[in-house]
Amino acid sequence: MNIQNLKKKFSGVTGQIGSFEISFKMFNYFHHGHQRYTIWLKPEPAKLIVELQEKLLKIVPDCNDVNKHKNGFTPHLSLGQIKGKKELRSILEKLQNQWEELTFILNSIFFISREKNKSSKFRIEKKIALQKLI
């Protein structure tokens, strides 16, 4: 399927989904083994993001890498990586203690991609708007 057809199908789904408010209150982390961690923010309500991901995955069922993780798809906003359990605990405590809730309207999704090398950076390929709130 070419990118224009894909964008059209995604737009069909996102056109039916209204933009919605999302908040980031809590930090969490993924453990990658060998004391390597990714720190991330947990979106609330996560349920709306999960539902959006499920609908979009029906269009591109072979793009389900995140669903193959032990706990399946986890909505999150990655912030950075750290090595060492002691450092992780210290950073998480500092971040959470100084954090003020961030709330905004989610009104777009983005196609992102990166090279097969997991240390490569993601690039934004396309932006698709969600239906505006009335």
Please write the tens of the pLDDT for every residue from 34-59.
999 999 999 999 999 999 999 999 99
Percent of the chain at pLDDT > 90 equals 57
Residue entry with tokens 């959006």: 52
- Taking the CB of residue 125, how many other CB atoms lie within 10 A of it? 11
User: Six-digit token pair at 57?
Assistant: 């995955």
Report pTM: 0.83
